Structure 1
């Protein structure tokens, strides 16, 4: 998939320098950044979306006692 984006000139200069010094394409480093950071972004934004649903009452939650009971920790 082709994607187009604008970078801050300072970031673009840093990326250009890295690519020139290492002989790798800028797209290589952009892919590395995306792949390396996607887990963090998913974790943060999906958790944030879940918390928003909880605040709105659209997502159910269990307290610690209910969790222990549901997995038979409390007899």
Structure 2
């Protein structure tokens, strides 16, 4: 994906940050380049796992709760 490759070229942008930004563009702004869901997986799924899923205070709380549950289960946010 060209967008992902261009983002990865930005200093300080690693693989996870690129995936999250692609998910933000697709989920929050409707900017959906071809293949964005695969390129941003798992952050493109329906789990409230990142800033891409925060559009309101309630959604922010859902992300916080999901991350807390993942941490309690010994899992990372990409699992």
TMscore range, shorter length: under 0.3
Which structure has more relative contact order (CA 8 Å, sep 6+)? It is 2
Greater Cα radius of gyration, structure 1 or 2: 1
Tell me the TM-score normalized by structure 2: 0.27
- Point out the structure with the larger helix share: 1
TM-score (norm 1): 0.28
